[in-house]
Amino acid sequence: MESKPLLPRGRRLSSQCPGQVGGSRHALFVSWLSPLLELARTQTLEMDDLFQLDPTNRAHIIALRFKQQWGPEKRKLHPRVWICLLRAFGKPLALAGGMKFAADLLQFVPPMLLGSLIRFINTPDAPASEGYMYAGIFVIAGLAQSYFLRQYFSYCADVGLYVKSALAAVVYEKSLHLSLAVRQQTSSAAIHRLLTVDVQKLQDVAPYVHALWYAIFQIALASYLLYSLLGVAFFAAIGVVLLTVPITSCLAARTGAAQVKLLAAAQRRQEICHEVFSGIKMAKMQAWEERCLARLEDLRDTELRALAVVGRLRGLASVAFDAVPVLMGIAAFGGYFALHPTAALPLATALPCLALCQMLRIPLAMLPQVLSTLADAKDSLERIAIFLTLDDQRRLTVGSLGAIGVRFEDADLSWHLPPTNAPADVSFSATTPMWQLRGVELSVRGGELCAVVGASGSGKSTLLNALLNEVHCTAGRVMARGTFAYVAQRPFLRHASIKDNVLFGTPWEASWYACVMDVTGLTSLVLDNSATLPSHDDTLMTAVPPALDASLHVRIALARAVYQNADIYLLDDIFATMDAASRRFIFERCLRGLLRRKCILWVTDTLDYVELCDSVVLLEDGVIVEQGAVATVLSDGPIMERVNAYKVAQAATPQLWTRMSLDFVSPDPAPAMAPPADELPQPSAGAVQYVQAIGGRCSALSVLGCCLVAQAVTVVATGCVGTGGVGGFAVYAAGHVAYLLLLHIRAATCYGRGIAGSRALFAAAVWRLLRAPLAYFELAPLATTLPALAKDVGVVDRDLPSTLLMLVHTLVAVAAAMGLAVAAAPLYLVAVVPTAVLLYRVQRVFVPSVIELQRLEKAASAAMETYVQECLLGLRSLHAYRIEDHCMTNYNRLLDAQQRVHILLTATHHWLAVRAEWLGVALGAAATVAAVLTKPMQQPQSQPLLSLALFYMLQVTPHLNWAVRVLAQVQGPRAALSRLAGYDAVPSEAVLALPLPPTPPTLGDVVFDRVFLRYAPGQLPALCGVSFAIAAREKVAVVGAVGSGKSSLLAALMRLAELEGGCIRLHGVDISTLGLHDVRLKVAYIPQDPILFSGTVRTNLDPYGVHGDDRLWLALKRAQLANVVASLDEPVAERGGNFSVVERQLLCCARIWLKNALVVCWDEAADGSWVSPKAHALHEAVRAECAERTVLTMAHRLNTVLTSDRVLVLENGRVAAFGTPDEVVAQPCATMASLLEQWRAAQPIT
């Protein structure tokens, strides 16, 4: 017997392995787990509270065992992964098979013992010692079976751990080293599916490996025993089995097909839900909340119709599962009475037969599932085998290079090669364009800064990717000597802190780190920026305010490259998202400063600093048309012409400033900086709301009533089978037909009422979110809110009805068995009370422990999946920095953490099972002893009741185990209910519509009168006493630095946030007296990057369908889109992805005319996109459409400011200046002077 492994109170478990605190993990009572379970009952568990994995179970050790077998195997023509797994981990699998064989033999002892025990009860002169012997046999067989069964599952869990750790580690390692050709033919989604779906399937399949033989063994042995009891009548039961198998298989197939449709409908609803709430600001500005709700409810109705089909099929499947033993009993007993019409069927024969039929239910239902599971596992193994035999990437050669540098020798470069034998999930298409660079001759030495210029699509990025071995060299040679650092156009950053992204696996050196942060401008933006980034470089990338993330990502990627102190730097258009001042700073301090002795290949569309490089390369249509030293190429030729044309374009429309400025970043008081989580609305309990939503207490009690009546009917009918001959059989058959009908009614009621409850809770939650103020979405980001909402809705839809049904059914079955035993032998009550107390204590420990461990397992799995996705997206950077081994170490650590929780969760289930099984054995033995003790006092007519009680007590053990498990399972849906009902606490905006005043606004004159705006208590005010007046049809430019209050001005005008003081009047009417929709229909907004909702052009212009086609086409014509849009029913992709930014802004112009807005707010483009021809069309459309309207422009260009009627300058939420452009420039306004000085200082160095 194992020792009791209690740890001193307060001692951490994270430094211990299970084997160090109580022996083997396969110990009988799993008591080494008790300290952890006690800890989980009293507090929230963290990873540091958990036991470590045993050293031999670490991922890298297990993977090494697999690789030793895979090495010789993969050289075969058809390598097989399963052979390697069997060789590496076959021993515990074989031990598990032996344990299962012993357990299966022992589980047939109680049914056969039941017949002898009933005969003992019905024999008046039988000695009591015989009854005690039966009780002893029952105890020994039950305990032995429990031991062997627990050992079987424990060894299977070990095998599953080995399989997942080995395959996940080798698949991930392989994904880091795939060749370019293979990566082009294999999607990242396919690799991710291997690491999540396929590997998890193979871990879960371990118990099913033996199920193929033990299901057949159980069926064969039970059939033989039934034949020995009933003779040839048993073959009638076989006929029922043969009849029901195709029916249940058909139900399973139809259920699977219906679930596919349900998942598709749920996915579509989630996508639109994400789209709606991602564009919630636009929806509120357009007064489209009700339309969004209607659209989501339509999708929800489609989903619930699919859910109703699944519910009906699942209900029929559950009835079919219970019907198999019932119909087998009816058929077998019917055949018996058909052969022996005058004979009686004693209970000593009938009840063991029924017990054996009950035992046949699980293997009969399991066998088709086992075959399907093993077939899926075979497919997964084949996919993994194909993946592991793919080609690895090769490094670039040094060639003839004797010093640091790169060289292309007559190189032809192509992104794609014709596909060969592509693996599963091929992403390559024969129609994919094969972009090429031809005849590249280029050499860049150490200490040389080479600028690569050319039009978009000329092949500049292809040149860099060739050095990363990401492009095929089909002719010539590409050579490099030295280490690489790479900054992509869209840099790869991990979901980690700023500091971790800079270090990128490299050890931290304080002085070098500080130097790197300084030359990349991150010292002022991050290290010294306590206002915006309180955590400085420990800030997670997801917590970076939107006002900073535009060029901050590029700066961090550049800092990472510089920190590596590499020999060769590949920079891909790093200035694209920076303003002019930042470009100058980076060029002077970094490229021409700290990196002046490095070999730099710099792709750029910003030609301000080309003249200061060492050499320039011009690409056109995949060919180098000119290259050479700067002094040579800028004297005459294509490069000089391109540089001069760029300067002319820059001078034509100078940029005042952009959203990102190195020297002028003030804190933004907007709610992007969320308050602590404990200030978020906390969800209320949801049980009451759910009961009301499903139809009240009557609906809930109807399900309970069906369960009680069905249980009573089956007990009475079973008791009649052996007491009345043919008449008793007729009662048995009729009673069980009624029992099956009641089960169907119960399932239909539960699933039907569950759908009604889900519909009501979802509609209420979505409407509360649609009516929530924008500040709420800053406190509860969509990245967490929407997945949580989708998950909770899915749990309430699919899990809650079935879980409640299982809980009620199990508890009623246990109560019925115990009540029957007490009625037959009152002495049995002595055992029931302490057993109930012990079971209660067990569930009090088990339920919170399982909940905590499941939470940790989900978190560990999510962290691992996120890391895999990051690495697959950033493979180019990982290869450039050659940190594959570092990534492998991190992945093994995450995999060990997930497996560490999983093995403890499995052990917790074993902890429960062994205790529930022993309590069940104790109850069975107590019932037998009570029968022996009360036998002398029993009347002949009460003996059938005692026999029936013993029959039902045989089923108590699995019911006890399952009851506690379901109590734990129901906690998840219960928490989901609480969270859904908790949306009632979400704050709501003001009323959407109010009666209009006698003189509603008809002109666009706007007055701000001492306006104060604060987004949340305790924050600095965003607007502080702002006062100004704008006349109707006046054009006003609003300028100010980041955080000055421009966005808050718009929020106040459209009532996206309510005022703390003051008032805003529109044509003399206080907008606080108007409904929200009345205000927002009078004010239009054209954002920098507008969001369109998926659907059609028509639904994006007129979602309520109030305008005719002629009016819609006229609106498109006025917005200069008549030649762009082919049809009003032309599809619009999510977020308007099939329209350009300017085209989306033009659609906003069309909305202005349709809604007849009085005031237009326009957020002008802050980057270089305003020089395109389409941008000129936008300017013309805005100018024409807004000639008779008041316009507030969030200006980013100098000529916008100078051509406005008046200029409003904001500084820290206050009006710094207001007047004509000449008046504002002449005023002593520090903000305006600073911004103008920035523009002058940002001009290129000459």
- pLDDT at position 175 is 85
- pLDDT at position 17 is 63
pLDDT per residue over 38-64, tens digit each? 888 888 888 888 888 888 888 889 989
pLDDT higher than 50, residue 425: no
> pLDDT class for 144, splitting at 50, 70, 90?
very high
How far apart are alpha carbons 16 and 746 in whole angstroms?
49
- Find the Cα–Cα–Cα–Cα dihedral 606, 611, 614, 620, rounded to 10°: 50
> pLDDT class for 676, splitting at 50, 70, 90?
very low
Provide the sign of the torsion angle of the four alpha carbons 1113, 1118, 1119, 1125, taken in this order: positive
- Find the Cα–Cα–Cα–Cα dihedral 561, 563, 567, 570, rounded to 10°: 10
Q: Take residue 602 and report the two structure tokens written for it.
A: 């710099």
How far apart are alpha carbons 1140 and 616 in whole angstroms?
32
What's phi and psi for 1071, nearest 5 deg? -70, -15
Provide the sign of the torsion angle of the four alpha carbons 116, 117, 122, 123, taken in this order: positive
CA 588 to chain centre: 43
Q: Would you list the DSSP string of 1077-1113?
A: HHHHTTEEEE-SS----SEEHHHHH-TT--S-HHHHH
Angle formed at CA 258 by CA 365 and CA 970, multiple of 5 degrees: 65
Alpha helices in 108-205 (DSSP H): 109-122, 128-176, 180-185, 188-193, 199-204
User: What SS3 state is found at 1158?
Assistant: coil
Amino acid of residue 1135? R
Q: Would you list the DSSP string of 27-77?
A: -TT-GGGHHHHHHHHHS---GGGSPPPPGGGSHHHHHHHHHHHHHHHTTSS
| Section 284-296 average pLDDT | 87
The rounded radius of gyration (Å) of the Cα atoms in the chain is: 37
How far apart are alpha carbons 1181 and 1176 in whole angstroms?
9
How far apart are alpha carbons 451 and 587 in whole angstroms?
12
| Section 488-510 average pLDDT | 82
What is each CA distance from 634 to 165, 583, 1041, in whole angstroms? 59, 21, 37
Helix, strand, coil % over all residues of the chain, rounded to 5: 65, 10, 25
| Section 1219-1244 average pLDDT | 67
Give exposure, 884-895, as e/b (b: 16+ Cβ within 10 Å): beebbebbbebb
Q: Take residue 1212 and report the two structure tokens written for it.
A: 């820290």
3-state secondary structure 1105-1145: CCCCHHHHHHHHHHCCCCCCCCCCCCEECHHHCCCCHHHHH
How far apart are alpha carbons 288 and 282 in whole angstroms?
8
- pLDDT at position 421 is 40
Domain 53-176+187-389+695-983 has CATH 1.20.1560.10: yes
pTM: 0.75
CA 774 to chain centre: 24
How far apart are alpha carbons 759 and 1043 in whole angstroms?
42
How far apart are alpha carbons 829 and 823 in whole angstroms?
9
CB atoms within 10 A of CB 667: 17
Provide the sign of the torsion angle of the four alpha carbons 577, 580, 586, 592, taken in this order: positive
- pLDDT at position 141 is 92
How far apart are alpha carbons 771 and 792 in whole angstroms?
20
> pLDDT class for 301, splitting at 50, 70, 90?
very high
How far apart are alpha carbons 735 and 1051 in whole angstroms?
69
How far apart are alpha carbons 20 and 25 in whole angstroms?
10
Q: Would you list the DSSP string of 294-323?
A: HHHHHHHHHHHHHHHHHHHHHHHHHHHHHH
- Sheet architecture: strand order including 1006-1013: 1023-1030, 1006-1013, 1061-1066, 1069-1070
> pLDDT class for 11, splitting at 50, 70, 90?
very low
pLDDT higher than 90, residue 1008: yes
* Greatest extent of the chain over all pairs of C-alpha atoms, in Å: 123
pLDDT per residue over 1088-1132, tens digit each? 767 788 888 888 888 888 888 888 888 888 877 787 788 888 888
What is each CA distance from 755 to 690, 707, 764, 795, 1219, in whole angstroms? 11, 20, 14, 12, 61
| Section 1167-1175 average pLDDT | 46
Amino acid of residue 757? G
405-417+437-650 CATH pick, 3.50.50.60, 3.30.40.10, 3.40.50.300, 2.30.30.30: 3.40.50.300
Q: Would you list the DSSP string of 1014-1062?
A: -SSTTSPPSEEEEEEEE-TT-EEEEE--TTSSHHHHHHHHTTSS--SEE
CB 1204, CB 1037: distance < 8 Å: yes
DSSP conformational letter for 622: T
How far apart are alpha carbons 1147 and 1217 in whole angstroms?
33
Residue count (the chain): 1246
CB 1054, CB 1087: distance < 8 Å: no
What is each CA distance from 975 to 119, 968, 978, in whole angstroms? 50, 11, 5
CATH of domain 1006-1242: 3.40.50.300
Q: Take residue 62 and report the two structure tokens written for it.
A: 């297990």
| Sequence-separated (6 or more) residues with CB below 8 Å from residue 1236 | 656, 1225
User: What SS3 state is found at 127?
Assistant: coil
DSSP conformational letter for 572: E
How far apart are alpha carbons 737 and 326 in whole angstroms?
9
How far apart are alpha carbons 340 and 753 in whole angstroms?
47
What is each CA distance from 417 to 180, 315, 483, 621, in whole angstroms? 10, 53, 27, 19
pLDDT per residue over 514-550, tens digit each? 998 888 888 877 877 666 677 778 777 766 655 555 5
Tokens 């978190």 correspond to 859
How far apart are alpha carbons 1191 and 653 in whole angstroms?
21
User: What SS3 state is found at 344?
Assistant: coil
Whole-number average pLDDT of the chain: 80
CA 370 to chain centre: 29
Which residues in the chain are classed under CATH 3.40.50.300? 405-417+437-650, 1006-1242
pLDDT per residue over 367-417, tens digit each? 888 888 888 888 888 888 888 888 777 776 666 677 888 888 878 777 665
Amino acid of residue 211? A
> pLDDT class for 941, splitting at 50, 70, 90?
low
- The residue among 342 and 769 whose pLDDT is bigger is 769
Angle formed at CA 31 by CA 25 and CA 32, multiple of 5 degrees: 55
Least confident of 80-84, 119-123, 1000-1004, 1230-1234: 1230-1234
| Section 131-158 average pLDDT | 90
How far apart are alpha carbons 946 and 117 in whole angstroms?
10
How far apart are alpha carbons 801 and 167 in whole angstroms?
36
How far apart are alpha carbons 614 and 823 in whole angstroms?
99
What's phi and psi for 1239, nearest 5 deg? -65, -40
Amino acid of residue 654? P
Which residues in the chain are classed under CATH 1.20.1560.10? 53-176+187-389+695-983
Q: Take residue 1099 and report the two structure tokens written for it.
A: 């639904």
User: What SS3 state is found at 391?
Assistant: coil
pLDDT per residue over 1057-1076, tens digit each? 889 899 999 888 888 888 88
- pLDDT at position 15 is 56
Q: Round to the nearest angstrom and report the end-to-end CA distance of the chain.
A: 87
pLDDT higher than 70, residue 1244: no
3-state secondary structure 1188-1237: CCEEEEECCEHHHHHCCCEEEEEECCEEEEEECHHHHHHCCCHHHHHHHH
pLDDT higher than 50, residue 799: yes
